[in-house]
Structure 1
């Protein structure tokens, strides 16, 4: 595919695959210059101001929400988190919720006109809680998808680290598709091809690389096991601290909160029970899905979010 291929041209086929009737909404890419010179990028769907804003997980990008937004049927915004999609990488590689929240809030302030139903999956879910706690004027409802603070990193996230800890560049996108399918990622071949196209870019030298920073960080760690082991120890200590800050963010959210858990996802029953104990006012919904609920159950998730968006 050409690099100038319309990134929204996949929408009709995605709607047909999901059995979603009606024309696909108009999509446009939006960009915001941040105060430090970095760029935040996002996707806006529909002709009216967004009602729902979506935040993706680590290693993904805003297009992961395409089919969910088609099912939603409401004006929406999907933001590329820093270090992902068309948003700038961070020099400090600090891809944690409280660091990402100010950038997301700046984007929501620029691209929306009313408090949003804020939906976040995985890293995006923790970031959604941080945004709602620190910028309550921007958020009217929070939906957290298959993540809780302090989740056991040995459960599912290690699979993603192994997947990205390969070469940093490739001869063709087909090689990336084959790698994704070999790890059981991407769903069907057509879905994997679409996902790889939207999450990669062709460099000036003709080599293909992932758009997101995580693949490059994972590959560097894999190339230096001793340094990686030291980093893993620091990350374990950091995860404990960040887990508590995540619970603090959730405790600080004043809008309604819903946790959507995939029954084959990263959130275990014990994690969900701890969430219910710590956030007793929240609702918990279980869907038949793995971690990427937005790709495996887009219609059900779109229906749930539409209900939240239309609630008084």
Structure 2
């Protein structure tokens, strides 16, 4: 029987994932906070006790992209839905630059973290995490950037235009067919999980993407795309005083020049390359968790 949003349990995939990975299944719950302007920010809380790691996903994804990595990490952790993604509110202006996302991330840390945490950000989330670590150093014990540095990934983002030419679908399976036609999601089962967690059913019965980025990337929609300032990111990188790790994907967005420039701005940072495409957290989650674990704080202040 084909699963729909009506019978979807967003945590229903976790038991099989934990079984496959041969790890313990943590308690997971969803929490929300209201931001100063009335928007809602949503997050997944894994495990019990003070969070030791805080995860921020990339454009067009959601907090569940970290499920397998966090299962492998086996530490109390939080993964947020960035504004405009998952269960978090969309911005009316359609502006999802790192500069605008970082204050919301700082608010999330203030609400959910009980002390400095290892901050891990992928792609767009990595750039927001970078600015947060630079401007709110007391909240962060270490920073891990997953396959991103300022200015990188623009070609990858522009390549999404054709994928998001279609913004709605007749059914979940229709959306899965679309994802599979672009070789996204791996197996059909994995693609269906991704589609179910990243779409919703409208009142008219059509299936649409949950995240605002679909409309921003789509050539069939007139939602404006607001550009960020890469140079602001490079300047912020020099201001980060906590340990920094760059995890590059062997088939990802980063060029040798990107990594060279990163080393110039953070000469003491650790640089690791993993055998994966851009979404390292889904393709090399065990190896990524191992790298993250080296930066987990031994103690979190109450």
The TM-score by the shorter chain falls in which range? over 0.9
| Structure 1 unmatched ranges of 5 or more | none
- After superposition, the C-alpha distances for 1:30-60 in whole angstroms (9 at most, x for unaligned) are 0001111110000000011211000000000
**Residue of 253, 259, 268 corresponding to 1:266:** 253
Match of 1:66 in 2: 67
Distance (whole Å) between structure 2 residues aligned to residue 4 and residue 140 of structure 1:
40
Using a 3 Å threshold, how does the CA distance of structure 1 residues 11 and 89 change in structure 2: closer, same or farther? same
**Residue of 3, 8, 12 corresponding to 1:5:** 8
Task: For residue 280 of structure 1, report the CA deviation from its aligned partner.
Answer: 1.0
1:170-209 counterparts in 2 under 5 A? 170-209=169-208
TM-score by length of 1: 0.90
| Structure 2 unmatched ranges of 5 or more | none
Match of 1:52 in 2: 53
Distance (whole Å) between structure 2 residues aligned to residue 43 and residue 138 of structure 1:
19
Distance (whole Å) between structure 2 residues aligned to residue 199 and residue 178 of structure 1:
15
Task: For residue 311 of structure 1, report the CA deviation from its aligned partner.
Answer: 6.1
**Which SS does the other structure have where 1:133 is aligned?**
helix
Match of 1:111 in 2: 112
2:141·2:297 contact (CA, 8 Å) conserved in 1? no
Distance (whole Å) between structure 2 residues aligned to residue 196 and residue 178 of structure 1:
10
**Residue of 295, 304, 307 corresponding to 2:282:** 295
Task: For residue 217 of structure 1, report the CA deviation from its aligned partner.
Answer: 2.2
**Which SS does the other structure have where 2:169 is aligned?**
coil
Distance (whole Å) between structure 2 residues aligned to residue 12 and residue 43 of structure 1:
16
Is 1:309 matched up with 2:296?
Answer: yes
Distance (whole Å) between structure 2 residues aligned to residue 218 and residue 285 of structure 1:
30
- After superposition, the C-alpha distances for 1:171-192 in whole angstroms (9 at most, x for unaligned) are 1111111111111211111111
- After superposition, the C-alpha distances for 1:108-151 in whole angstroms (9 at most, x for unaligned) are 11111010100000001101101111111110100000011112
Distance (whole Å) between structure 2 residues aligned to residue 136 and residue 310 of structure 1:
14
Task: For residue 249 of structure 1, report the CA deviation from its aligned partner.
Answer: 1.5
**Which SS does the other structure have where 1:78 is aligned?**
strand
**Residue of 5, 14, 18 corresponding to 2:17:** 14
Distance (whole Å) between structure 1 residues aligned to residue 35 and residue 207 of structure 2:
27
Task: For residue 157 of structure 1, report the CA deviation from its aligned partner.
Answer: 2.3
1:121-132 counterparts in 2 under 5 A? 121-132=122-133
Match of 2:214 in 1: 215
1:274-289 counterparts in 2 under 5 A? 274-289=261-276
**Which SS does the other structure have where 2:258 is aligned?**
helix
Task: For residue 158 of structure 1, report the CA deviation from its aligned partner.
Answer: 2.3
Task: For residue 4 of structure 1, report the CA deviation from its aligned partner.
Answer: 4.8
Distance (whole Å) between structure 2 residues aligned to residue 311 and residue 272 of structure 1:
29
Is 1:91 matched up with 2:78?
Answer: no
Distance (whole Å) between structure 1 residues aligned to residue 24 and residue 12 of structure 2:
12
- After superposition, the C-alpha distances for 1:210-248 in whole angstroms (9 at most, x for unaligned) are 1100112223xx137xx89xx78xx6xx45xx1101111
TM-score by length of 2: 0.93
**Which SS does the other structure have where 1:147 is aligned?**
coil
Q: Hey, which of these two has a bigger chunk of helix by percent?
A: 1
**Which SS does the other structure have where 1:32 is aligned?**
strand
**Which SS does the other structure have where 2:290 is aligned?**
helix
2:117·2:297 contact (CA, 8 Å) conserved in 1? no
**Which SS does the other structure have where 2:295 is aligned?**
helix
Task: For residue 161 of structure 1, report the CA deviation from its aligned partner.
Answer: 2.8
Task: For residue 87 of structure 1, report the CA deviation from its aligned partner.
Answer: 0.4
**Which SS does the other structure have where 1:100 is aligned?**
helix
**Which SS does the other structure have where 1:157 is aligned?**
helix
Distance (whole Å) between structure 2 residues aligned to residue 152 and residue 100 of structure 1:
17
